[in-house]
Amino acid sequence: MAAALVHANVRAALRARLLTLPWIVAQGSPVTAVAWEGVAWPPVGQPAARAPYLRETFKPARSTVLALGPLVPIRQAGLWLVDVFVPADQQVALADQIAGELLDHFAPHRQLTYGGQVVMVRTVYRNPPLLDAQWHQAPVTVDWFADNVNVI
């Protein structure tokens, strides 16, 4: 499987897992939207809402050949960043709660599958919060890997 297809399947697997959170953009949810990478934000024709939302960023990082010869595994690895944004005038505890639920939902050693591609979560962790005059940002990083076959 080509690296581009592996990356597309990994991104889809991570997104699909995110969408299994029971509160994700549901009626009455604290999170009103997800800013998907590659999609205009805020949505075209809509004003920027002052409500909590998530932003995802997919970062493929490296490919490692795990053996020598034809048809050997190549390990694709990278990071998936999910930033929790809460308006600065709301409780910081809400951002911490949402980030904590993301940590639990993407626990290490969790196996995800999409399009026949198996994705493993290696680690998941919080990064230091960022605060400006408008937003409190609670970054969460999912460190993933996926193996595919070298077809040389």
Each residue's pLDDT tens digit, 80-96? 999 999 998 887 889 99
Q: pTM value? A: 0.89
Q: Report which of 147, 121, 103 is spatially closest to residue 13, judged by C-alpha positions.
A: 121
30-97-138-41 Cα dihedral, nearest 10 degrees: -20
Cis check for the bond before 42: say yes or no (omega within 30 of 0): yes
Each residue's pLDDT tens digit, 31-68? 878 889 988 777 665 656 678 889 999 999 998 888 88
